[in-house]
Chains A and B, each alone.
Chain A
Amino acid sequence: MPEQARDHTPDRAPEGTGAPARMRDDGARDDDGAGGAPTAPPAVRVEGLWKRFGEQIAVAGIDLALPAGRFIGLVGPNGAGKTTTLSMVTGLLRPDGGRVTVAGHDVWRDPVEVKARIGVLPEGLRLFDRLSGRELLGYTGRLRGLPGAEVDKRATQLLDVLDLAGAQHKLVIDYSTGMRKKIGLAAALLHNPEVLFLDEPFEGVDPVSAQTIRSVLERYTDSGATVVFSSHVMELVESLCDWVAVMVAGRIRAQGTLAEVRSDAPSLQDAFLELVGARGLDRSESLDWLGGAR
């Protein structure tokens, strides 16, 4: 097989201007759950996914059906198993049990089909940070099997849009957290994936960079692609996502459109606290020395 034969994805421009085939039928983004029961096959289907580390069960047999063409938030407190789940869904961590399909293809049995269709921005894993931003994109794109000229063209556009053009020749190791998230996002988008998995993409990112990331992602989902991202910042999820899965202690507590999950709670934050079972317990008397006489 020639080295450059793996770009299976239909070719859309990175701006996402020409993909009518994948637009949703209702044509518009909605936050109120009108598209609650997707008729199209889900972008990602997870069945009975398990992972344990020693004594600790990180992911306890979860089932998920993430609809295509949505901005999906995977929310949960620290340690809920979000990163473990995303690692297993993207093929970076082998599950103890269960099945994951992306666009109908099994992640573990059919990696050729899956890896070409997904883009990933993991949290807590390094990039090849001794490359400059531009070199990193060139490396990733060519490894993905895209032709060199196309990689360079896309890299230039991505660097421009993500406001990294000025730092493109700097080594990634000298980038700030926000810049690093942006270059990681560019690397994940370069091969125009159908589904994008982002682990905590806004963690430690300044507001300006966050807005840039956000507008790129919105443009991307408008073209019919799917974004799955994890976060524990409810306001962010509420303002970005139209579909939410709530994860607590390795289990999915709720999943559905934002409106369904929010139900009659005033905000997603309230709904979330209710689901998690944190009811504003006052534990402060045990810290009675704090702020006392020094």
Chain B
Amino acid sequence: MTRAARRSRDDEPARVPGAADASGQPTGDPGPGAGAGAPLAGAASSVRTGTSPVGTGTVARTAPRASMASAASVLVPLKLSLLRNGLRQSTGRTAAYIASGVLALLVAAAQLLGLVLLRGTAHVGTVTVLLTAVLALGWAVMPLFFPGGDETLDPTRLVMLPLRPHPLTGALLAASLVGIGPLFALCLLVGSAAATARGAAGTAVAVVAVPLALLLCVTLARVVATANIRLLTSRKGRDLAVLSGLVIAVGVQVVNFGAQRLGEAGGLAALDPVAAVVRWLPPAAATGAVASASEGAYGRAAGQLLLSVAALAVLLRYWRRSLVRLMTAPDSSTLAAGEPARKESAPALERLLPEGRTGTVMRRALRYVWRDPKTKAAWITALAIGVIVPLFNALQGRGTIYFACFAAGMLGIQMYNQFGQDTSAFWMVAMTISSPRDAYLELRARALALSLITLPYSALVTVATAALLDNWRALPEALGLSFALLGAMLATGAVASVRFPYSIPQDSGYKNVAPGQAGLAWISIFGGMLGAALLCAPVIALTIWLHVASADGPTWILLPLGTAYGALVAAVGLRLAAPQAAARLPEILTAVSKG
């Protein structure tokens, strides 16, 4: 929906106080500040808060001494309304959201069942403890990277309300417990408890441990998100946000490493020493306590429970303090306004770009990779994972050169949701696209800008991987596969950008997808990646065939073939996407203007 629609909604008299005001505008962002391009984030945030649905309604009335219960009784329904209203905006999105929700719950149910079936087996304690640890890690990382993590309640919007930190944290925590994510976690934790709890003591501990672990997970997510919001809203902090990209890259590596250990001869037993340590780390300690109590080790169980409670207390305290800091410190952009103007200097590379639409669009895209914190964070993450996965595996001596395709794959993802990355500034592009030809040039230029970084990067990563593995013979085919994959990702990315655009909210470090569009984002990215994999099938099949046919077949031929195939697929994808883009400009603008 464009600004037009949003305005008319804003201007309506409030039908229901409080949360319901946010109808059709789930971020609660009427956007005078953000919409106008957020001159100063400080001004924008004060405007935002002033007009936020909460600010006008119920919470204010319960002031000045809102208790935790009354604050929670507002924030929990608010979150529900935000979710509901986000869905109400289009049936397609509702379907996508429900589909992803059902999928998540099916996985959770399967895991619950699996865990219950594991009951009584030898290493069940190890499995549950590690599962809880992984779950906690997921919660910690989710607000940073997962599109559509907890996107609804942004504490910076509540700045103007007369709420003390104590009730506010409680209420925010209660609101965080609402949603598919917490339900998923609950299924897992209940499953873990059911798998290990034996006897009255075990059951009693389980009753305490499960909510405790869930609270720890949710609080962890909140703490990380609060830290991250400060990171992303301050100019200087944006450079630090780069680090969070490495966190997930390393996290993936840990999971990968764990999975590989599992696959080895030792099986689950190999993990027992790891679990012996992890079961003392909250929230895995809470799950561990259930097992301990069931085994009769009551002292250990008590220790683990106490440790979990203490961890929760520390997290809550830290969270409260960072919330207070976040909501009282002046916004970094206030300071930025006083900064001296930068010097204009076009890097040599930029000057080499062609004239006309192609060069203009490429120049803008490349500048945004560097200057726009959201885009930058995405790129750094992709670059980091793209190099870490193949090289770490190679260093561990168990990698294959095909992991080098990760570089092309991760960077190829940047092609998805191209117009969402523009935010509502897409109107400037839309005003200059009047034919499929214009749209083609626009999309092609964006793909070229992406390739300008990705091609040399993935080549470099592939060469480095080949060097570490000392497998130079496979270099040409790995390069060919990488380029074919990149071409396929550019093709599907262009189509997905046009068919499934979604907003990337810029005013909050919390969110990567506007509320209610999470399903759309998943469809766009994962549907696109699946499509890309399918498109690569011929090249992959040829690779396999060449290897099967003879041990020393002419696999070098995959370099020219893969490259040509990638270029062809990309060209076809862009050609297919262009007329649709030209025909769907208003719809795309509507979809990307929600944040």
Contact of A126 among B5, B361, B423 (CB under 8 A): B423
Min CB–CB distance B121 → chain A (angstroms):
54
Question: Are A122 and B9 interface neighbours, CB within 8 A?
Answer: no
Is A132 among interface residues, defined by CB-CB distance under 8 A? yes
Min CB–CB distance A88 → chain B (angstroms):
8
Is A157 among interface residues, defined by CB-CB distance under 8 A? no
Q: Given A3-B356, A4-B356, A177-B39, A128 and B428 touching (CB < 8 A)?
A: yes
- Bound CA–CA A123/B33 (angstroms): 11
Q: 0/1 per residue, A45-81, Cβ < 8 Å to B?
A: 0000001011010100000000000000000011101
Contact of A132 among B342, B425, B432, B587 (CB under 8 A): B342
Closest to B372 in A: A130
Contact of B32 among A124, A131, A138 (CB under 8 A): A124
Residues of A with C-beta under 8 A to B343: 169
Question: Are A81 and B434 interface neighbours, CB within 8 A?
Answer: no
Residues of A with C-beta under 8 A to B6: 124
Min CB–CB distance A220 → chain B (angstroms):
18
Question: Are A125 and B441 interface neighbours, CB within 8 A?
Answer: no
Is B128 among interface residues, defined by CB-CB distance under 8 A? no
Residues of B with C-beta under 8 A to A130: 367-368, 371-372
Min CB–CB distance A230 → chain B (angstroms):
11
A13-21, A139-147, A265-273, A278-286 - the one binding chain B = A139-147
Closest to A3 in B: B356
Question: Are A125 and B587 interface neighbours, CB within 8 A?
Answer: no
Question: Are A125 and B8 interface neighbours, CB within 8 A?
Answer: no
Chain A 69-121 interface residues, beta-carbon cutoff 8 Å to B: 77-79, 81, 83-88, 90-94, 111-112, 114-116, 120
- Bound CA–CA A142/B10 (angstroms): 36
Question: Are B356 and A53 interface neighbours, CB within 8 A?
Answer: no
Q: 0/1 per residue, B367-387, Cβ < 8 Å to A?
A: 110011000000000000000
Is A154 among interface residues, defined by CB-CB distance under 8 A? no
Is B7 among interface residues, defined by CB-CB distance under 8 A? yes
Contact of A79 among B10, B34, B422 (CB under 8 A): B10
Residues of B with C-beta under 8 A to A112: 434-435
Question: Are B342 and A170 interface neighbours, CB within 8 A?
Answer: yes
Is A176 among interface residues, defined by CB-CB distance under 8 A? yes
- Bound CA–CA A92/B11 (angstroms): 20
Is B585 among interface residues, defined by CB-CB distance under 8 A? yes
Question: Are A122 and B3 interface neighbours, CB within 8 A?
Answer: yes
Q: What total of chain B residues lie within 8 Å of the partner, measured CB to CB?
A: 65
Q: Given A93-B2, A134-B344, A143 and B39 touching (CB < 8 A)?
A: no
Is B357 among interface residues, defined by CB-CB distance under 8 A? yes
B243-251, B333-341, B478-486 - the one binding chain A = B333-341
Min CB–CB distance B305 → chain A (angstroms):
49
Contact of A78 among B11, B342, B429, B586 (CB under 8 A): B11
Closest to A140 in B: B428
Question: Are A92 and B430 interface neighbours, CB within 8 A?
Answer: yes
Q: Given A53-B5, A128-B425, A174 and B337 touching (CB < 8 A)?
A: yes
Question: Are A54 and B24 interface neighbours, CB within 8 A?
Answer: yes
Question: Are A125 and B3 interface neighbours, CB within 8 A?
Answer: yes
Residues of B with C-beta under 8 A to A56: 8-9, 12
The B interface, classified by DSSP as helix, strand, loop or mixed, is: helix
Question: Are A58 and B8 interface neighbours, CB within 8 A?
Answer: yes
Is A241 among interface residues, defined by CB-CB distance under 8 A? no
Chain B 1-41 interface residues, beta-carbon cutoff 8 Å to A: 1-12, 24, 31-32, 34-40
- Bound CA–CA A4/B422 (angstroms): 23
Chain B 175-227 interface residues, beta-carbon cutoff 8 Å to A: none
Chain B 423-476 interface residues, beta-carbon cutoff 8 Å to A: 423-425, 427-435, 437, 441
Residues of B with C-beta under 8 A to A145: 356-357, 432
Min CB–CB distance A96 → chain B (angstroms):
12
- Bound CA–CA A176/B37 (angstroms): 10
Question: Are A1 and B437 interface neighbours, CB within 8 A?
Answer: yes
- Bound CA–CA A90/B427 (angstroms): 10
Question: Are B586 and A124 interface neighbours, CB within 8 A?
Answer: no
- Bound CA–CA A127/B432 (angstroms): 14
Residues of B with C-beta under 8 A to A126: 34-38, 423-425, 506
Q: Given A143-B357, A172-B37, A176-B39, A122 and B371 touching (CB < 8 A)?
A: no
Question: Are B344 and A125 interface neighbours, CB within 8 A?
Answer: no
Min CB–CB distance A150 → chain B (angstroms):
12
Question: Are B437 and A125 interface neighbours, CB within 8 A?
Answer: no
Residues of A with C-beta under 8 A to B4: 51, 58, 81, 83-88, 93
Closest to A51 in B: B4
Q: Given A126-B37, A127-B37, A84 and B8 touching (CB < 8 A)?
A: yes
Q: Given A83-B7, A93-B4, A204-B36, A169 and B342 touching (CB < 8 A)?
A: yes
Is A161 among interface residues, defined by CB-CB distance under 8 A? no
Min CB–CB distance A102 → chain B (angstroms):
12
Question: Are A171 and B11 interface neighbours, CB within 8 A?
Answer: no
Closest to A57 in B: B8
Residues of B with C-beta under 8 A to A171: 342, 371
Min CB–CB distance A167 → chain B (angstroms):
7
Chain B 66-82 interface residues, beta-carbon cutoff 8 Å to A: none
Closest to A112 in B: B434
Question: Are A170 and B341 interface neighbours, CB within 8 A?
Answer: yes
- Bound CA–CA A176/B39 (angstroms): 5
Closest to B35 in A: A124
Q: Given A83-B3, A83-B7, A123 and B35 touching (CB < 8 A)?
A: yes
Residues of A with C-beta under 8 A to B24: 53-54
Question: Are B585 and A91 interface neighbours, CB within 8 A?
Answer: yes
Closest to A95 in B: B586
Q: Given A120-B431, A142-B356, A79 and B5 touching (CB < 8 A)?
A: no
Is B590 among interface residues, defined by CB-CB distance under 8 A? yes
- Bound CA–CA A92/B593 (angstroms): 12
Question: Are A3 and B434 interface neighbours, CB within 8 A?
Answer: no
Question: Are B8 and A180 interface neighbours, CB within 8 A?
Answer: no
- Bound CA–CA A130/B364 (angstroms): 9
Residues of A with C-beta under 8 A to B430: 91-92
Residues of A with C-beta under 8 A to B342: 132, 169-171
Contact of B435 among A111, A138, A177, A179 (CB under 8 A): A111
Could you say which of A2, A3, A58 has the most chain B C-beta atoms within 10 Å of its C-beta? Answer: A3
Is B159 among interface residues, defined by CB-CB distance under 8 A? no
Question: Are A143 and B35 interface neighbours, CB within 8 A?
Answer: no
Residues of A with C-beta under 8 A to B359: 142
Is B532 among interface residues, defined by CB-CB distance under 8 A? no
Closest to B584 in A: A94
Residues of B with C-beta under 8 A to A180: 36-37, 39
Question: Are B364 and A167 interface neighbours, CB within 8 A?
Answer: no
Q: Given A84-B5, A111-B435, A177-B36, A127 and B428 touching (CB < 8 A)?
A: yes
Chain B 230-279 interface residues, beta-carbon cutoff 8 Å to A: none
Min CB–CB distance B47 → chain A (angstroms):
10
Contact of A125 among B363, B427, B432 (CB under 8 A): B427
Question: Are A167 and B341 interface neighbours, CB within 8 A?
Answer: yes
- Bound CA–CA A112/B434 (angstroms): 5
Could you say which of A126, A128, A187 has the most chain B C-beta atoms within 10 Å of its C-beta? Answer: A126
Nearest 9 Cβ contacts at the A-B interface? A79-B11, A124-B35, A3-B356, A124-B3, A84-B4, A111-B434, A142-B360, A126-B37, A130-B371
Name B residues whose Cβ lies closer than 8 Å to a Cβ of A: 1-12, 24, 31-32, 34-40, 333, 336-337, 339, 341-344, 355-361, 363-364, 367-368, 371-372, 422-425, 427-435, 437, 441, 506, 585-587, 589-590, 593
Besides A91-B430, A135-B367, 20 other CB < 8 A contacts?
A2-B356, A58-B5, A78-B10, A87-B3, A87-B4, A93-B590, A115-B434, A123-B36, A124-B3, A126-B34, A126-B36, A127-B425, A127-B428, A129-B425, A131-B364, A140-B432, A143-B361, A143-B428, A172-B37, A180-B36
**12 contacts across the A-B interface (CB closer than 8 A):** A84-B7, A87-B2, A93-B590, A111-B434, A124-B36, A127-B37, A129-B425, A142-B355, A142-B357, A142-B360, A143-B360, A173-B39
